Structure formats: C-alpha cells, structure tokens
Homo-oligomer: A and B are copies of this chain.
Amino acid sequence: MTRSQAKFLKSSDKFQYETPSVAVDVVIYTVFNGVLHVLTITREEHPFQGMWSLVGGYVDIHKDSDIVATARRKLEEKTGVKTPYLEQLMTVGDNQRDPRGWTISTVYFALLPFKDIKFKNDSQTSKIEWTPIINGKVKKKLAFDHAKILSLAIERLRGKVLYTSLPFYLLEVEFTLREAQDVYEIILGRKIDPKSFRRRFLVPEILQESGGSKISGKRPAKLYRLTPNQHTHFFVRTLEGSI
C-alpha cells in the first residue's frame, strides 16, 4: 500500500461517519374504477408512526447491488409484482425531511396493471391501501415530505402522458382503444376526441390489432396490443394541456 492510499483509507473511514441515510421511495400507480391510485402504507415505526406514507425503505447494501434493486425489492414486497415499468423520478435530500437528520431518498415511480397485483398484506401492524388521486392530490396526510414528492410525481406523470405512450403500462397486454383512452383521460383529467386518439396510435403503428374483440356494451370493440419491440413512444407533438 502506498502512502497516499493509506491516507485515503483513513480519511474514507471518517467520511462514513458523516454520511446521510440513504433510502428509496416508490410511487406505485395503478388505475381502476376510473380513478388513478397510488399505493400507500402505514408506518410501523417512528417517526410518523401509524401515518400513511409512500412505499419505501433504506438501501440494504448487502441485499441490493444497485439502487433500482432497492426499488424493485420494496415494490415486490408490497405488491408481488416483479417486472413493472419503473422509472427514476428524482432524488430529494436534506437535513429537514426526516427528524432523525440528513437523509437522501431516490424516488421511482412504477406503473402497474391493476389485475397483476396480489397484495401481500402479511404484516399485522401495517395497513396497505390504494389511495385515489383526486384533482392531483390525495386526501390522506402523508409522512415526511411524501405529499410534495407525490405532487411532483403526479406532475411528471401528467407531463409524460402528453408526449409518450407510457399509460399502456397501466393496461393489460390486450385492451380496447376505449380502455386506453379512458386511462389517458383519467390521468389528464379531460376528454380526448376519439378520432384524434386513434390516429395518434394507429397511424404510426404503435398499436396493432390482436385479432380478438371484447364485448362490454353494444358493438364489440377490437382488442389491440403494443407492436412488438416498440418501447415507449415519444411523439413529436404533445397533446393539449401542456402549459
């Protein structure tokens, strides 16, 4: 070992002492009953014991090889879903958000089709619940800065819906165009013209007919699925509603 290497090891021990706590939170979205929902759980421990919060927890450097592994682990623990759409939203970190001191939290959001979820309600002490998002807010009071995080997460989801095909991750593999349009309308909070909606996804062949159809009212609707090997589509024009 060189002299400078020795020096650096010594000083890195010192740094460890001063390190913030490192956590991950996940805003888990799904849509059912015509409403966007986010998964919330009650806190088992102080601080904010018993209060509702987003799904999250500390990075476990032995279990998690990287930060998204923490997000996946937390998500799977609560929902049983292993391969969700998961996107990093942002990182918050300061000395105010947690009364215990300096903490940093990287926030992800996940999009899940409602059907896929088998709740793991195994804990005795904590409740887990889909909370409806009405007018961009949740009625529950949330722990830490989770209300602010959620508000930014909703803003981001709304923003992305205007120029991407993200909402299809909230649907099952096959869906009717009306079901897809419903999800768009729920997130945007406004109606979309059906002709525009169909044109947007069918002309560039983002969707393809699956062959089947679904009867839920009068005339049966064709079933569609995402064209294979298409990832999230980014449109060159946004829908109205962008400020």
A60 beta carbon closer than 8 Å to chain B: yes
Report whether A106 and B94 are in contact in the complex, using a CB–CB cutoff of 8 Å.
no
User: Contact flags (1/0) for A69-98 with B, using CB distance below 8 Å?
Assistant: 000000000000000000010111111100
Report whether B95 and A66 are in contact in the complex, using a CB–CB cutoff of 8 Å.
yes
Report whether B234 and A3 are in contact in the complex, using a CB–CB cutoff of 8 Å.
no
Residues from chain B with Cβ under 8 Å of A91 in the complex: 67, 88, 91, 106
A5 beta carbon closer than 8 Å to chain B: yes
Q: Which chain A residues numbered 1 to 36 have a C-beta less than 8 Å away from chain B?
A: 1-8, 10, 12, 15-22
- Copies per complex? 2
Specify which of A10, A93, A238, A243 lies most central, judged by the most chain B CB atoms within 10 Å of its CB.
A93
Report whether B2 and A45 are in contact in the complex, using a CB–CB cutoff of 8 Å.
yes
Residues from chain B with Cβ under 8 Å of A104 in the complex: 22, 59, 67, 104, 106
User: Contact flags (1/0) for A32-69 with B, using CB distance below 8 Å?
Assistant: 00000000000001110100000000111110011100
Report whether B65 and A92 are in contact in the complex, using a CB–CB cutoff of 8 Å.
no
Distance in Å from the Cβ of A71 to the closest Cβ of chain B? 11
A139 beta carbon closer than 8 Å to chain B: no
Report whether B45 and A100 are in contact in the complex, using a CB–CB cutoff of 8 Å.
no
Taking a contact as CB atoms closer than 8 A, the residue among B12, B19, B240 that contacts A100 in the complex is B12
A237 beta carbon closer than 8 Å to chain B: yes
A interface residues (Cβ-Cβ under 8 A, vs B): 1-8, 10, 12, 15-22, 45-47, 49, 58-62, 65-67, 88, 90-96, 100-102, 104, 106, 234, 236-238, 240, 242-243
In the complex, besides A12-B21, A19-B61, A61-B101, 9 extra interface pairs with C-beta distance below 8 angstroms are A7-B45, A18-B60, A19-B19, A19-B20, A20-B61, A66-B96, A67-B91, A67-B93, A67-B104
